[in-house]
Amino acid sequence: MNGLEHLDRITVALGKLPGIGRRSAERMAYRLAGDPDGVMRELVQALQEAQENVRLCNLCGSITTVTELPCRLCTHPSRDGLMVCVVQDPSDIVAIERTGAYKGRYHALMGIISPMHGEGPGEIRLQALLKRLDTEGFQEVIMALGMDAESEATASYIAEVLRPRKLRITHLATGIPVGSGIGYSDTLTLARAMKGRQNL
């Protein structure tokens, strides 16, 4: 395998990350190759440490460590165990936590329903949510998905599935830009949206 083939493998791997196109991945690969004892070494070390120590919580899907499963957000007694906030990704949990406006539990779906991308209800963590609703005694489910069409359709679908359970189902108040995700909202807007949540 020659040098260009190695760079192609790096480019392909980087291109699998969200928001990184082919050209950006190529630039990153060349930058790494140009500094093997600097940035590349740091990146390799950071990735190895993350691979050994970082996990997704087996309950909520948040980022945690191998020594904290389930994570602190799921086990800390100060968290409100009567409400669960449903988000698309673990990064949304981080964004909401930064606001300080929410003290309940979380559930990351790890995606949204997207027929255009071949992702239906079976591709998100909906069954895991239903199982938690059966065992954890939540009384309110907060749908904190984005404001784009697919996120809203996902929230509506989940709300319909949950309706027979007689839970309070809410969604974030307005203030989050249409077509945007939770992770792109500033903390003040997100905090106000959480506090002003409405029935769905």
pTM value is 0.81
Greatest Cα-to-Cα distance within the chain, rounded to the nearest angstrom: 62
Is the domain of 41 the same as that of 88?
Answer: no
Half-sphere exposure for 124 (CA within 13 Å, toward CB) = 28
Provide the pLDDT for residue 199.
77
Which residues, in sequence order, are CB contacts of 137 under 8 Å at separation 6+? 81, 82
Looking up residue 79, the CATH number of its domain turns out to be 3.40.1360.10
Q: How many structural domains compose the chain?
A: 2
d(CA 53, CA 55): 7
Name which residue leads in pLDDT, 198 or 56.
56
Domain limit, last residue, from 54, 81, 97:
54
pLDDT in tens, 3-60: 789 999 999 999 999 889 999 999 999 999 999 899 999 999 999 999 999 999 999 9
Is the domain of 135 the same as that of 186?
Answer: yes
Is the domain of 18 the same as that of 49?
Answer: yes
Provide the pLDDT for residue 190.
72
Is the domain of 49 the same as that of 146?
Answer: no
Provide the pLDDT for residue 187.
76
Look at residue 1 and tell me whether its pLDDT is greater than 60: yes
d(CA 17, CA 36): 21
CA distances, 7 to each of 35, 36, 44, 97 (Å): 13, 12, 15, 38
Angle (nearest 5°) at CA 168 between 166 and 171: 140
Provide the pLDDT for residue 106.
98
Provide the pLDDT for residue 184.
63
Is the domain of 42 the same as that of 140?
Answer: no
Residue 2 confidence class, pLDDT cut points 50, 70, 90: confident
Q: Are 79 and 60 in contact (CB under 8 A)?
A: no
Is the domain of 73 the same as that of 42?
Answer: no
Is the domain of 164 the same as that of 79?
Answer: yes
Is the domain of 88 the same as that of 128?
Answer: yes
Is the domain of 169 the same as that of 129?
Answer: yes
Is the domain of 112 the same as that of 19?
Answer: no
Provide the pLDDT for residue 31.
94
Look at residue 188 and tell me whether its pLDDT is greater than 70: no
Expressed in angstroms, the distance from the first to the final Cα of the chain is: 56
Strand residue runs (E) in 26-179: 54-56, 63-65, 80-87, 104-108, 140-143, 168-171
Is the domain of 123 the same as that of 35?
Answer: no
Is the domain of 117 the same as that of 178?
Answer: yes
Q: Which of 54-58, 92-96, 120-124, 170-174 has the lowest mean pLDDT?
A: 170-174
Look at residue 105 and tell me whether its pLDDT is greater than 90: yes
Give the DSSP H or E segment for 49. Answer: helix 39-53
| Owning domain of residue 17 | 3-54
User: In this structure, what token pair is assigned to residue 60?
Assistant: 């909520």
Looking up residue 47, the CATH number of its domain turns out to be 1.10.8.420
